[in-house]
Structures are given as structure tokens and as C-alpha cells.
Amino acid sequence: MAEFLTSTDEFMWSLGEDPVLRSTIVSLMILERAPEWDLVVERFERLTRVAPRFRQVVSPTVPPLPARWEEHAEFDLDWHLHRVSAPQPRTFPVLVNLAEVAMMTDLDRTRPLWEVTLVEGMADGSAALLCKFDHALTDGVGAVALAAALYDELEVLAASEGSKRPSGSVAAQVLETIRHPLTTAATAFDTAVSIYRAARPIAGPLSPVMRRRSATRRLEILEVSRSGLRRAGDAAGGTVNDAFLAAVTGGLRRYHDHHGVTVDQLMTSMPISVRGPHDGIGGNRATLVRFDVPVGEVDPMRRIREIHARTMAARGEKALAYTQLIAKALNVMSRGYVGSELRHVDFIASDVPGSPVPLKMGGAPIRSQYAFSPTLGAAVNTTLLSYVDVCAIGVNIDAGAIPDHDVLRDCLTAGFEETLSVHAAGGGPNPTTGGARPRRPHGAPRRPRRG
């Protein structure tokens, strides 16, 4: 049955009209060896049953009605699944290059918004699964849940898309207003102010360096110890996410220093999940909150503490309950205005928890996983995806804003080293001997700089 897109899903889908804002998500799964192809096909067939969005297309309607999800009349799994041999020299950098091309190439909007390529024959015997899908299908947390359909060790835990819905959200708000009019009136002003803060126009970008925007993307990867980040966060009274964000901002400070520019604050956009227990695993159940971060704070412990205070304030915003309402308002605004506002954000940072245990797919052990989220108009998006005790940092760089992506990579590496050293001050092991130093993935030599 056809179903209207939610306001947030439609917002993400509509961004695809602009290559700079395109909401494509790309992931790389590295396997110790190539899985059996028949099993790969079987697992993705199962995924499309768990999440019917992967068999549907977006069908525009007559405004003001939102677009609709409709079953693709000629859905063919073979159109979405591909199998190729690794290009020469069959080393890790060629996989990153393939991911870059996927990030810059639009999906066929007349078909379901995803495709997957199995890359076989790597020089070290490994293989890779390159996945690409539109953000309208699901958010990062939803994607991790959907991936359960692919793994050998896990049964499909998620219910079918749309099988459960939050009960009576609008009606419940009306009843609450009738039953407690004074209490509701007392909080209405605070809620309105919170919504304004979430959707207000902002000046930016704040960076005097990362200002130009383009459709060219460069991808970089770092790996750090999750326990190392956790110890750093604990030592400063924060969280893993606070330590992650502090490391990214430390790297961005160094990048500006490299260009001879001093910057005190940058505007970030951070996804916050509002996914509830009754939500399906497809669709977007996250909202982007914007706030400035203390890039100029050179002490990593104080930076973690300040970021913790600001992220806690962002998570406490009453506007989070009105994500769909805000998205609906954005959907009726001029695309030019919305695009301009998105370009005012300096960077995006997203923390996505993955599996804490090793996994296999089609009998092949999964070595590592990386996620690259869209820039959505920002200069760079850094996405942390954890796997066992490794945090893989996928860095999606707008080459117009940051043409020297190798410099940014080295600055981010230094930012993580600085942040990981915080736990030593709190009594933990030195990061240079405790396995917490940032590193490149196995088999990933430094890539030559490309303009």
C-alpha cells in the first residue's frame, strides 16, 4: 500500500536535487574473504522483506500533499546488487576511491534508492561490500539495525516497517492541553522558543577558510580505540561522543592554524536520535541540532567539558519532540533559502554505535566497517561507526571548502591524539602504549594528494 513520506524523509529526499546537498550515505564493509554470492543475494532479499522501503520508489504528488512511497512495479534485485573484481593495484585505497565515486553519483530516482557492490579479489585476499543508499530510506541508527538482516550470527530483530506506530501522538497532545491547560500554557512559550532556536536562520559559515562549496568529495578514514575515547570522556566528565566531538574540533583548530587563521567558534550540526521503541527501523528518526563549539579552546579536557555542557543543552531542547513539524515547515520553504542555510554550517559530527561483538557475513569474518554520511551543505562530515572496540571515523570532505584533504586528515589525527591523552591525566595508561593512538586502516597507505 502507498504511504506518504514523513516530513523528515521528504526533506532528505528533496535535497537530492542539489549535488552539493545530496543526502547519499555510503558504507564500506571489509571482509576477510569474499562471501558466497548466493548468500549475499539471499541476505539482501531478506533485508528488502524486513524493510519494504527497499522495494519502493518515491512518487511525487500534487502539493501540498507530500510525496508517497509506492511499490516498484518492476522491482528487480539484480538491478541493485553488483559483483566486480577489484581494480589494480587491488589495495585499500582503491576501495576508498570507489566509495568517493559512489558518494558523488546520484541514484536512479525511478527505482528504489539503494545499490550494493561486492568487490572481490583484493591483493591480500579480502573483499569489500560497498553500500550506497539515500538518507530518505533510513538514518544511521536505522541502518545499523537493518544490517542485522545481513549477518550470520544475528536473527532479524526488527519488526516489519510500519507494523507499529506511536499511538495517538497528536490526540494525546490535545487531551493533555484539555486536562492541564495551565501547565501546558506555562510551557508553551519555552517550547516555542526552543523551536525557534532549532529552525532560526544562522550567520555563517563561521570559518574564514572553509567557505566555498562544491559537488566534489574526498573521503578519509581514521581508526581509534573506543575504550580510549571512553576513558578520555570519563576523565573530563563527559561521554564518548563528547570526546569524539572534542577531537574533531581540535583537528579543525589545527587546520585553521595551518592556514594562519585563528578561529574561536565553529557551527556544528549534530544528529540526535529520537527513535522510539515503537518506531520501525526504516525512515529518519533523528533531528539535526545546530550549536557552536569551542574550537579555540586549546586544553582538551576543558574542551570536552564545555562540549558536554553544550551537547546536553542541545539534547534537552523541547524542539526535539517537534522534528516532523520543523521538517514540514522547511519543506514548503524555498529550496534556495534552505540550501543557503545548510551551507552556513561549518561541519557535521555523528556518532553511530555499531556491533560490540565480531560478526560474519556469508561465512566471511567482517574485519572492519566504515560509514560516510552526507555533508548536507557543510564543509565536512565526520561519522564515527564503532565495531567491537574500534571507532572508524569516516570523513566526507567537500573539496571546494577543503582542497587540501590530506592536511585535514593529518590535523584530525593530531586532534584525536591530543584528546586521547586526556585519560592519562586522569590516571589511565599513556595512549602511546595503551593501544589508543589513531591509525590508518589495515592496508591503507597514505593516498597521494589530489586537487
Mind telling me the catalytic residues? 135
Query: For cell 539535526, what's the residue?
Result: 288
Report how far residue 369's alpha carbon sits from residue 354's, in angstroms, rounded to the nearest whole number. Answer: 9
Report cis status (omega within 30 of 0) of the bond before 64. yes
Cell of 18: 542539489
Report how far residue 349's alpha carbon sits from residue 332's, in angstroms, rounded to the nearest whole number. Answer: 27
Beta strands (DSSP E) in 60-166 are 68-71, 81-85, 114-120, 127-134
Report how far residue 327's alpha carbon sits from residue 285's, in angstroms, rounded to the nearest whole number. Answer: 12
Is residue 259 classed as helix, strand or coil in its secondary structure?
coil
Query: For cell 564503532, what's the residue?
Result: 386
In sequence order, the 6+-apart residues with CB closer than 8 A to the CB of 177 are 184
Report how far residue 4's alpha carbon sits from residue 65's, in angstroms, rounded to the nearest whole number. Answer: 8
Query: 3-state SS of the chain: helix, strand, coil percent to 5?
Result: 40, 20, 40
In sequence order, the 6+-apart residues with CB closer than 8 A to the CB of 306 are 294, 297
Instruction: Please name the helix (run of DSSP H) or strand (run of DSSP E) that holds residue 50, with its range, or none.
Output: helix 37-50
In sequence order, the 6+-apart residues with CB closer than 8 A to the CB of 186 are none
* 325-339 burial code (b ≥16 CB/10 A, e <16): ebbbebbeeeeeebb
Task: Give CA 384 to chain center in angstroms.
Answer: 8
Instruction: Please name the helix (run of DSSP H) or strand (run of DSSP E) that holds residue 347, with its range, or none.
Output: strand 347-352
What Cα–Cα distance (Å) separates residue 42 from each residue in 49, 149, 289, 295, 360?
11, 10, 38, 47, 15
Q: Name the DSSP class of 431.
A: T
249 within 8 A of 380, measured Cβ to Cβ: no
